[in-house]
Amino acid sequence: MTYAVAPRRRRLLGLACAAIACASVAAGLGTSLTACASPTFPFIPDHYTFSRDQVQMAVARKFPYRHTVSQLFQVALTNPVVGFEPGADRVTVHVDAHIESPFLQQPVDGAFLLSSQLQYDAPSHSVVLRAPTVERGGGDGQARAYRQQIEAAGALAAAQWLDGYPIYTFKPEQLQFAGVNFEPGTITILTNGIRVQIVEK
């Protein structure tokens, strides 16, 4: 009887330890990340959700940004404001721009609206910005005459600077439960957050 019961006890003990470990992970995450349990195993999350504030904080760490484009435009980008476009499944970043160039009689101020997809990067275990583009850009006054060049400069800066930038990196304990490995699946843009599905590898 001892030999028949012991394996069952070990399995139960293993599941109990996994539940405790998951609870510890959730407690460690606090309010920074929301984890929703799987209906099959209540202690295993089936997705994580992070908020606009979290994305805002992650993107803000990249600013201010200064870059010279084609040795013609000096672009300084500041004051990022993150937004979500659920219908297009994209994240936007509105930034103020200060632009200097030999083509301009004096520096001009304007703004860019950058738009980006999200993608999971397996080697870094991160959700990253992917293929950012400039939706709108430019400035007032004399900058209007060079709007095409300024937007091109902004697009190049965005591609070189934000493409692949991580907005959230998963910890190892968030992707392993009871010896089973998991990985992020579908990424969904919500009106007030980003939901990342967690699936078994």
Average pLDDT over residues 56-75: 86
- State the pLDDT confidence band at 73, using cuts at 50, 70 and 90: confident
**Is the per-residue pLDDT at 180 higher than 80?**
yes
Residue with the bigger pLDDT between 71 and 190: it is: 190
pTM to 2 decimals?
0.72
Which residues make Cβ contacts (< 8 Å) with residue 62, sequence separation at least 6? 80, 161, 162, 165
User: In angstroms, what CA-CA distances link 182 with 45, 95, 121, 155, 170?
Assistant: 10, 36, 14, 35, 11
- 169 pLDDT exceeds 90? yes
Mean pLDDT of 86-108: 86
Phi, psi of 126, rounded to the nearest 5 degrees: -125, 150
CA proximity to 133, closest of 150, 157, 111, 110:
157
198 and 189 Cβ atoms separated by less than 8 Å = no
**pLDDT at residue number 1:** 29
Classified by CATH at the fold level, domain 1-201 comes out as Bactericidal permeability-increasing protein; domain 1 (3.15.10)
Q: What is the pLDDT of residue 195?
A: 94
Distance CA 114, CA 133 (A): 6
What span, in angstroms and rounded, lies between the C-alpha atoms of 114 and 161? 12
Q: How far apart are CA 171 and CA 9, in angstroms?
A: 30
The percent of residues above 90 in pLDDT, for the chain, comes to 32
The 10s digit of each residue's pLDDT in 136-165 is 665 555 556 666 666 676 667 666 778 999
